[in-house]
Amino acid sequence: MDRLVLENVYYKYKNAKKDVLCGVNAVFPEGTLTAICGRSGAGKSTLLYLLSGLDVPNQGQILYNGEPLKKSMLDDYRRTEAATIAQSYLLFPTRTALENVMYPMEIAKIPKKEAEKKAQEYLSVVGIDRELFHRLPNKLSGGEQQRVAIARCLAADSKIIAADEPTGNLDEENADAVLALLQELAHKHGKTVIVVTHDTFLAQQCDSQYRLRNGVLELLQ
């Protein structure tokens, strides 16, 4: 199934003179990893925000599992269907790695002991050693923080994962590890993973690659 579909999407910021997105069309099937490339300021992050449910298009529509995504649906969509991995990770600074991963399960009213056990499993899956579970984010490396952010997405059990420059702040070793995790989320766990990136190597490893230029999205592979 095509989990997310963009149909003739236009978007313009308030008081802006021109559209950032001009008639964008794209298909993001479930179980795939897709890259969106383009120059800085091309509108890539804006497109990711729309896919994440942070806003809706001015014109056109986004279909989720065949149904138009409306503004009244966005809160539920973000809470249960779509997760965002920001370039700055957006971990809670006063919560440990373990507590950050437990957070989505707390919101879902999962009992604390069960949430803690699952959070430990998710952290192990993304390669975080047990000795790091109780460290605050500022005591973790960039690569470790990125992995914790991915583990939190796993804990939320979101079907859509939208990542903004997921390897942008990482060295080659950590970037390769994060790429492998994103591929596993898509191909093994059936997630729809969409990444905005300047990383040519990462983009080439994706199942599909789009380029955004002058507000128009072009399928490259």
Stretch 19-44: mean pLDDT: 93
Instruction: Give the pLDDT band (50/70/90) at residue 210.
Output: very high
% of the chain residues with pLDDT over 70:
99
* pLDDT of amino acid 2: 62
CA–CA separation, 177 vs 58, rounded Å? 37
Q: Are the C-beta atoms of 3 and 82 separated by less than 8 Å? A: no
CA–CA separation, 12 vs 184, rounded Å? 35
Instruction: Give the pLDDT band (50/70/90) at residue 153.
Output: confident
- pTM comes to 0.86
pLDDT at 49 over 60: yes
Pairing of strands 208-213, 82-85: unpaired
Stretch 161-171: mean pLDDT: 85
Q: What is the CA radius of gyration of the chain?
A: 17
Stretch 105-131: mean pLDDT: 92
Closest Cα partner for 51 from 157, 151, 183, 195? Answer: 195
Cβ neighbours for 83, distance < 8 A, ≥ 6 positions apart? 52, 152, 153, 156, 158, 160, 161, 162
pLDDT at 8 over 70: yes
Q: Which residues pair with 35 in a beta bridge?
A: 195, 209
Stretch 25-42: mean pLDDT: 93
Closest Cα partner for 112 from 96, 126, 98? Answer: 98
Closest Cα partner for 55 from 89, 17, 84, 23? Answer: 84
CA–CA separation, 111 vs 89, rounded Å? 26
Taking the alpha carbons of 213, 83, 80, 78 in that order, is the dihedral positive or negative? negative
Q: What is the mean pLDDT of the chain?
A: 90
* pLDDT of amino acid 150: 84
% of the chain residues with pLDDT over 90:
61
Q: How many CB atoms lie within 10 A of CB 48?
A: 21
* pLDDT of amino acid 177: 85
pLDDT at 93 over 90: yes
Instruction: Give the pLDDT band (50/70/90) at residue 142.
Output: confident
Stretch 98-123: mean pLDDT: 93
pLDDT at 1 over 60: no
* pLDDT of amino acid 147: 87
Instruction: Give the pLDDT band (50/70/90) at residue 168.
Output: confident
What does residue 212 show for φ and ψ, rounded to 5 degrees? -100, 120
pLDDT at 94 over 60: yes
Stretch 103-123: mean pLDDT: 92
